[in-house]
Amino acid sequence: MTLQNIDQLLKRADKLTPSERLLLASRLIQGVRNEMPARKKMRHKWRDVAGILPYPALGMDAQLYISRTRSDDSNRRARVIRDGK
């Protein structure tokens, strides 16, 4: 289809009501989606991402980071419970 034909279609579509144009756009998009091959959603495995960060990531050992984060969360929860905020 040439650019001229597309321009003619757009001019004809301009004469439609807004709801008719939305319906036309929806059907055009759905038609294209139906023609596209279905893509399988790839699931990553942990072993695929293991080791992508340089050691030490975030400037500290991973176990130290986890321990510190858990401790911070526990302290924050205790403060919320204690203060009621």
pLDDT at 57: 76
Q: 34-77: per-residue pLDDT in tens?
A: 998 877 777 888 888 887 887 777 778 888 889 999 999 999 99
d(CA 45, CA 48): 5
DSSP secondary structure letters along 69-84: HHHHHHHHHHHHHHH-
pTM: 0.43
Sequence ranges of the domains in the chain: 3-35
Q: Does residue 3 surpass a pLDDT of 80?
A: yes
pLDDT at 85: 62
Q: Does residue 79 surpass a pLDDT of 80?
A: yes
